[in-house]
């Protein structure tokens, strides 16, 4: 009984998660009907103006819907198998009761991986739910119940995690949404005034045209702030999570740790081929597991703790091992 109830609740939560998506879809379908049918086919009398309005509208509409679809249905990327703890290491870790030995096990695994960030207290970034060492900029999403590469946030309006695999699509979706709303508002405004002053009197079309302008302006203002914020994040090469909590490197937290300069930051998201920037086609640089960093000292793996580094600090090999063990703690994600 309890199992069935739990499953029912999970399915209920999954169904409710699609409500915002269905709401946006309903608004988009209505806006298409209101613009094409009520404005262009009923209100407009000039055939040249009608064709021009419809042609530009449909180009923007296709790009808008395409990017929205890609944001929804592009699955977030998860870490490769090499970041997962092997069955043997998992048994060693779970059977070991001494915390210091558990730390050594995780440190030993992390030595083999290209990880350069850690938690605020110097911990190995370990996810106990997914049983893996988290790559740089990877976080666990409690909604999707998976670790997502370069996770930005979980967006309820697309019912998906925004991360490395679909961040470009999400940005293009915001951009074309703005353009869609702006175009509707700009072309509807003249007829809005005519309906408002009584120059045009078609009752049914009047309602759709008036309401269409209000909705377009409302969404445009909301999206303008969101899109502007993400443009600022791109210029600094930060995710939404990193904007609130700076990534921690060997020398401590650094909010600009991945900032390579405006042009390179832009290329990291959109790629080097400018002809693909405005299309919802995969062109982002890298594989989502590792990212170039701002300085060479931050690019050194803090978990390796090689002898040459500690010798420069005047420490012998034994004190190196002691310091490494004391600087690492296990992050247990909840």
3-state secondary structure string across the chain:
CHHHHHHHHHHHHHHHHCHHHHHHHHHHHHHHHHHHHHHHHHHCCCHHHHHHHHHHHHHHHHHHHHHHHHHHHCCCCCCCHHHECCHHHHHHHHHCCCHHHHHHHHHHHHCCCCCCCECCCCCECEECCCCEECCCCCEEECCCCEEECCCCEEECCCCEEECCCCHHHHHHHHHHHHHHHHHHHHHHHHHHHHHHHCCCCCHHHHHHHHHHHHHHHHHHHHHHHHHHHHHHHHHHCCCHHHHHCCCEECCEECCCCCCCCHHHHHHHHHCCCHHHCCCCCCCCCCCCCCCCCCCCCCCCCCCCCCHHHHHHCCCCHHHHHHHHHHHCCECCCC
CA dist., res. 258 & res. 265, Å (int): 9
92: Cβ contacts below 8 Å, ≥ 6 apart: 105
**Phi, psi (degrees; rounded to nearest 5) at 148:** -115, 130
CB 270 within 8 A of CB 283: yes
- Residue in 261, 266, 256 with CA at minimum distance from that of residue 230: 266
Known catalytic residues?
Answer: 155
Who contacts 87 (Cβ-Cβ below 8 Å, separation ≥6)? none
User: Rounded to a whole number, what is the distance in angstroms from the first to the last CA of the chain?
Assistant: 26
């Amino acid at each position: 009984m309890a199992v069935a109830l739990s499953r029912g609740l999970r399915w209920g939560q999954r169904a409710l998660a699609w409500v915002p998506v269905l709401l946006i879809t309903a608004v988009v379908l209505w806006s298409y009907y209101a613009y094409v049918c009520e404005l262009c086919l009923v209100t407009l009398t000039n055939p040249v103006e009608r064709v021009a309005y419809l042609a530009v509208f449909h180009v923007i509409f296709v790009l808008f819907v395409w990017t929205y679809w890609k944001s929804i249905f592009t699955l977030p990327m998860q870490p490769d198998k090499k970041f997962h703890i092997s069955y043997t290491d998992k048994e060693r870790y779970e059977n070991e009761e001494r915390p210091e030995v558990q730390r050594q096990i995780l440190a030993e695994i992390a030595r083999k991986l290209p990880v350069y960030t850690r938690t605020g207290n110097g911990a190995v970034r370990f996810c106990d739910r997914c049983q893996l060492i988290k790559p740089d900029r990877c976080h666990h999403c409690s909604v999707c119940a998976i670790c997502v590469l370069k996770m930005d946030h979980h967006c309820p309006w697309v019912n998906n995690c925004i991360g490395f695999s679909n961040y470009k699509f999400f940005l293009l979706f915001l951009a074309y949404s703005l353009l869609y709303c702006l175009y509707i508002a700009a072309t509807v405004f003249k007829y809005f005034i005519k309906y408002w002053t009584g120059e045009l009197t078609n009752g049914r079309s009047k309602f759709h045209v008036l309401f269409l302008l209000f909705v377009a302006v409302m969404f445009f203002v909301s999206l303008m702030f969101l899109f502007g914020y993400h443009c600022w994040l791109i210029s600094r090469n930060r995710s939404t999570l990193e904007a609130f909590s700076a990534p921690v490197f060997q020398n401590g937290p650094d909010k600009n740790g991945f900032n390579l300069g405006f042009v390179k930051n832009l290329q990291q998201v959109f790629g080097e081929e400018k002809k693909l920037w405005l299309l919802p086609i995969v062109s982002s640089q890298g594989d989502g597991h590792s990212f170039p960093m701002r300085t060479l000292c931050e690019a050194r793996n803090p978990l390796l703790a090689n002898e040459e580094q500690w010798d420069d600090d005047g420490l012998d090999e034994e004190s190196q091992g002691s310091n490494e063990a004391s600087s690492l703690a296990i992050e247990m994600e909840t």
